Chains A and B, each alone.
Chain A
Amino acid sequence: MDGTTAPAEDGTAASEQVSLDALRQLARASMFAALIGAGAFIVVPAGPLFFSLQTMAVSLAGFALGVRQGLTAILIYLAAGFFGLPMFGMGKAGPVAFMGPTCGFFLGFVFQTAIAGLAHGVRGRSRRIALMAALGTAGFLVMLAFGAAGLRITVIPTWKGAFLAGMAAFLPVEPIKLLLAIVVAEGYLRRNPEGGRGDA
């Protein structure tokens, strides 16, 4: 993994090739996209409530990869779901997620990743963790607000109902997911000090 370009022995134009480093970044972004998709299928009980790890994985992608690479991961995730891969949990595949009641949450994921990604590349562990907590919380709130707006447009006739179903119902478990995301992201950044590159 020296970031060099593989030689073209088949006559491929040099401009058509990508460096191994760029390929590695694409593979990592795809890996996080898959992790977000897998998160929808992993359900964790927390007292009387159950939650999936999907939104945790969205924050994790931002923390671990930064804004640019994190957005790449989330866009790969959304494109994969749109083009039919079973990425959205509960059996959803194809454009259903973008036309159904959860459309707002998916748009919110983009903003959640971007906001969480701002904590990436900050020097000093304690400072970074504090920033992750603050930006992660802000990201979750923005994502849930988009989700509630999506519910209001598609299913629930009132804003109050949409707020209760789309935001209030998720608030008790979101701090647990955020904590998980921070702990896992710290481990990732310890192993990969350069993180997602690009905007580190």
Chain B
Amino acid sequence: MPDRKSTSSHAGGTARRLDARLKVLLLLGCSILTQYLDGLQAAVWLAFLCCLFLLRDLRTGMAMRLFRGGAVFAAFWFLVQFFASAFDGVELVAAAEEALPFAGRLIALVVLGIAFVSLTPPVQTGKAVTWFLTPFLRGNAWKAGLALALVSWFLPNCLGLVGKAGDAARMRGLALPVRTRARLAVGAALRTLETQADLIALGLASRRLDRPRVWRF
């Protein structure tokens, strides 16, 4: 009998291999379902979704960071709704009962998103996007898929560059105001990214990734 770790890995592998189009549809369907759940239903659904964290693919540092952020997001909007209702004259217990399922639904949506990102490679997502958008964008749908793949490359680069620019200013011991540092960091990141974008355009053309057939299933 396989142990729990390998079962998780096997299940994760199966989920990874699943058609990305199906995963997108599942994500959308589950997200819509989540919106219609209330009270106990939402709690049971959330508990079921949290079982996804048994998969090894969802226990990565990035997924955990996203989950922590999502939990903060849900807690923040729970408090906003709670205090808004309380200021509106609703009893505290009733206000909490109103806000709690809302926060639960938000966390459920966050977990769904994390599961999708962790179990679907960006290129597969790009191809799925191309497939879904083809009826609307026709011949240009593949550009949306390509753009999505590019964004997944640019996003971590961008964060890294801003961080490095800030580190450089700190190491040089510059006592600059926070706003000046933000301007310098964003400006420096943008200059580097411009060059990278141009090089990427050349790279895409040379690797023949600028053709629709590459982005089709």
A contacts, CB < 8 Å to B: 1, 6, 10, 12, 16-18, 20, 23-24, 26-31, 33-35, 37-38, 41-42, 44-46, 53, 56, 76-77, 79-80, 83-87, 89-96, 99-101, 151, 155-158, 161, 165, 176, 179-180, 183-184, 187-188, 191-192
Beyond A1-B202, A187-B190: 4 further Cβ-contacts under 8 Å? Answer: A17-B210, A53-B186, A90-B69, A91-B70
Q: Is the CB of A100 within 8 A of B205?
A: no
Q: Is the CB of A95 within 8 A of B28?
A: yes
Cross-interface CB contact of B178 among A31, A45, A99, cutoff 8 Å:
A45
Residues from chain B with a CB closer than 8 A to the CB of A77 are: 151
Q: Is the CB of A188 within 8 A of B190?
A: yes
Cross-interface CB contact of B31 among A90, A95, A151, A176, cutoff 8 Å:
A95
Smallest beta-carbon distance A156→chain B, Å: 4
A2 and B154 alpha carbons, distance in the complex (Å): 24
Q: Is the CB of A93 within 8 A of B114?
A: yes
Q: Is the CB of A29 within 8 A of B84?
A: no
Q: Is the CB of B80 within 8 A of A165?
A: yes
Q: Is the CB of A94 within 8 A of B116?
A: yes
Residues from chain A with a CB closer than 8 A to the CB of B80 are: 101, 151, 155-156, 165
Q: Is the CB of A35 within 8 A of B193?
A: yes
B4 within 8 A of A: no
Residues from chain B with a CB closer than 8 A to the CB of A89 are: 69
Residues from chain B with a CB closer than 8 A to the CB of A37 are: 151, 155, 158
Closest B residue to A94 using CB positions? B113
Q: Is the CB of A165 within 8 A of B84?
A: yes
Q: Is the CB of B112 within 8 A of A16?
A: no
Closest A residue to B154 using CB positions? A34
Smallest beta-carbon distance B158→chain A, Å: 4
Chain B positions 39 through 67: 1 when the CB is less than 8 Å from some CB of chain A, otherwise 0? 00000000000000000000000100111
Residues from chain B with a CB closer than 8 A to the CB of A191 are: 191, 194
Residues from chain A with a CB closer than 8 A to the CB of B27 are: 84, 94-95
Smallest beta-carbon distance A135→chain B, Å: 20
Smallest beta-carbon distance A92→chain B, Å: 6
- List the 10 closest A-B pairs by CB distance, nearest first: A91-B69, A94-B113, A93-B113, A34-B154, A91-B70, A96-B109, A30-B150, A90-B73, A38-B158, A24-B201
Residues from chain A with a CB closer than 8 A to the CB of B31 are: 94-96, 99
Q: Tell me the chain B residues, 107-136 only, with Cβ under 8 Å from chain A.
A: 109-110, 112-114, 116-117, 120, 122, 125, 128-129
B8 within 8 A of A: no
Residues from chain B with a CB closer than 8 A to the CB of A53 are: 182, 186
B148 within 8 A of A: yes
Closest A residue to B209 using CB positions? A23
Q: Is the CB of B151 within 8 A of A33?
A: yes
Smallest beta-carbon distance B168→chain A, Å: 16
Q: Is the CB of B186 within 8 A of A180?
A: yes
Q: Is the CB of B194 within 8 A of A192?
A: yes
Smallest beta-carbon distance B65→chain A, Å: 7
Smallest beta-carbon distance B193→chain A, Å: 5
B72 within 8 A of A: yes
A17 and B179 alpha carbons, distance in the complex (Å): 44
Q: A156-B80, A184-B187 are in contact. Are A79 and B125 (CB under 8 A)?
A: no
Closest B residue to A161 using CB positions? B84
Residues from chain A with a CB closer than 8 A to the CB of B102 are: 155
Residues from chain A with a CB closer than 8 A to the CB of B196 are: 31
Q: Is the CB of A42 within 8 A of B147?
A: no
Cross-interface CB contact of B148 among A24, A85, A176, cutoff 8 Å:
A85
Q: A89-B69, A93-B114, A96-B113 are in contact. Are A158 and B88 (CB under 8 A)?
A: yes
Smallest beta-carbon distance B80→chain A, Å: 6
Q: A27-B201, A157-B85 are in contact. Are A184 and B183 (CB under 8 A)?
A: yes
Chain B positions 62 through 92: 1 when the CB is less than 8 Å from some CB of chain A, otherwise 0? 1001111111110011001100110110000
